[in-house]
Amino acid sequence: MRGLKDKVALVTGAASGIGLAIAKRLAEEGMAVGVLDMNGQAAHAAVEQIRAAGGKADYEACDITDYEGVKKAVAAIESRLGPTWALVNNAGWDTPTAFLKTTPDFWRKVVDINYLGPIHMTHAVVAGMAERGGGRVIFIASDAGRVGSSGEVVYSGCKGATISFAKALAREVARNNVLLNCVCPGPTNTPAMDAFVGTGEQGEKIRNAMVRGVPLGRIGEPDDYPGLVAFLASDDASFMTGQTVSISGGLTMHG
Ligand SMILES: NC(=O)c1ccc[n+]([C@@H]2O[C@H](COP(=O)([O-])OP(=O)(O)OC[C@H]3O[C@@H](n4cnc5c(N)ncnc54)[C@H](O)[C@@H]3O)[C@@H](O)[C@H]2O)c1
C-alpha cells in the first residue's frame, strides 16, 4: 500500500482476534505499530510476534474506558514510536443477552467499552493529527450497528452510534486532512466469537446457522479485515471520508 511505510499506527484491542491481525498487517506494510490493550501480557506477546516477523511495534497496557489512562498511554507510546498517523479503534466487547434481561450496570459497561472507549481514543489522538495537518481514524464497528443484532441490542446501538460519530467528526476535521471511516465485520472466528456462541455441539450449531445466512458460505476470519484497514490508512484512500464498509461475505448488502 502507498504511504504507510515508517508511519505510526495505534491499534486498540490488538492483543487478540481482529485487532491482532490488523496490527500484524500494518507492521508488514512497514508501519510502526502501537498495541494498546487492557491485557498487558497479551499485548506484550503480540509485540513479540510482530518483532519476530521483522516488524516494528511497542505496547501500552490501556483500558480505553479510562480517559485519563488513555491520554497517558497515547503520550507514552507516541514518545517512543512518534506521532500517530492512523488510529484503529478496534477494541470492543459484548456478551449475548436478551435486552429485557439486561441491567443498567450491563448497559453502562457495554457503552463504556464500545462507544465511549473509541471517543476517548479519538479525542486523545485527533488533536495532534489536526495540528500536523493529517491522519486517519478507522473504526472497527459491526454489521450489528447497521442492521441490528438480537441478543446484542445495546452493543448494536453503540456500533450505530460509532458510525454516526465517525461521520460527524469526519465533517469537522476534513479541512485538517483527518479522515475517518468505519469497517463493519460480520460474525467472525475470534476468541470473542467463542465466548459469544460457546464451544462444543451447541456452539457448532449456532455457527452453522450463521453460515447458512452468509452468501459466501462461511463466517469471517480475522485476516478478512486488515487489507481494507491498510487501504483506508494509505495514500490511496486520501479522498474517502465518512464512509462505512461492510465485510461480511454478503450477509448485509448496502447501497
Ligand atoms: N468477532 C466478531 O464476530 C465481530 C463481529 C463484528 C464486529 N466485531 C468487532 O471487532 C472488534 C474486535 O473483536 P474481536 O472479535 O477481535 O474481539 P476479541 O475479544 O478477540 O479481542 C478484543 C480485544 O480487545 C481488548 N479489550 C477489550 N476491552 C478493552 C478495553 N476496555 N480497553 C482496552 N482493550 C480492551 C481485549 O483485551 C482483546 O484483546 C470489536 O470492536 C468487535 O465489536 C467483532
Answer whether residue 215 is part of any domain: yes
Do 137 and 37 belong to one domain? Answer: yes
β-bridge partners, 84:
8
Answer whether residue 16 is part of any domain: yes
Q: What is the β-pairing status of strands 84-89 and 56-61?
A: unpaired
Residue of 72, 74, 93 with the most ligand 1 atoms within 8 Å of its CB, for mutation: 93
Do 178 and 133 belong to one domain? Answer: yes
| Phi (first) and psi of residue 89, to 5 degrees | -85, 90
Q: Is the pLDDT of residue 200 over 90?
A: no
Q: Among candidates 147, 74, 70, which has minimal Cα distance to 113?
A: 70
Do 81 and 204 belong to one domain? Answer: no
Domain that holds residue 200: 189-219
Q: Whose CA is nearest to atom 2 of ligand 1?
A: 188
Helix-strand-coil percent breakdown of the chain, rounded to 5? Answer: 55, 15, 30
Q: Looking at the 3D structure of the chain, how many domains does it have?
A: 2
Q: Whose CA is nearest to atom 43 of ligand 1?
A: 92
For the segment 231-245, the average pLDDT, to the nearest whole number, is 98
β-bridge partners, 191:
none
How many CB atoms neighbour CB 177 within 10 A?
A: 15
- In the reported structure, the alpha carbon of residue 13 is separated from the centroid of ligand 1 by a whole-number distance in angstroms of 6
Q: What pLDDT sits at residue 131? A: 98
Q: What pLDDT sits at residue 199? A: 79
Answer whether residue 255 is part of any domain: no
Q: Is the pLDDT of residue 9 over 90?
A: yes
* pLDDT band, very low/low/confident/very high, at 10 (cuts 50, 70, 90): very high
Q: Is the pLDDT of residue 207 over 90?
A: no
Do 90 and 107 belong to one domain? Answer: yes
Do 14 and 140 belong to one domain? Answer: yes
pTM of the model: 0.98
Q: Percent of the chain beyond pLDDT 70?
A: 100
For the segment 151-161, the average pLDDT, to the nearest whole number, is 97
Do 27 and 81 belong to one domain? Answer: yes
- 117 within ligand 1 shell (Cβ under 6 A): yes
- 245 within ligand 1 shell (Cβ under 6 A): no
For the segment 116-142, the average pLDDT, to the nearest whole number, is 98
- Ligand 1 atom with minimal separation from the 220 CA: 3
Q: Whose CA is nearest to atom 7 of ligand 1?
A: 142
CATH code at 99? 3.40.50.720
Q: In sequence order, which ranges of the chain are alpha helices (DSSP H)?
A: 17-28, 40-52, 67-81, 104-111, 117-132, 144-147, 153-173, 191-197, 200-212, 226-233
Answer yes or no: are the C-beta atoms of 41 and 68 closer than 8 Å. Answer: no
- 38 within ligand 1 shell (Cβ under 6 A): yes
Answer whether residue 37 is part of any domain: yes
* pLDDT band, very low/low/confident/very high, at 64 (cuts 50, 70, 90): very high
Quickly tell me which residue has 448494536 as its cell: 156
Answer whether residue 253 is part of any domain: no
Annotated catalytic residue 115: no
Q: What pLDDT sits at residue 168? A: 98
Q: What pLDDT sits at residue 122? A: 99
Catalytic residue among 59, 115, 155, 225: 155
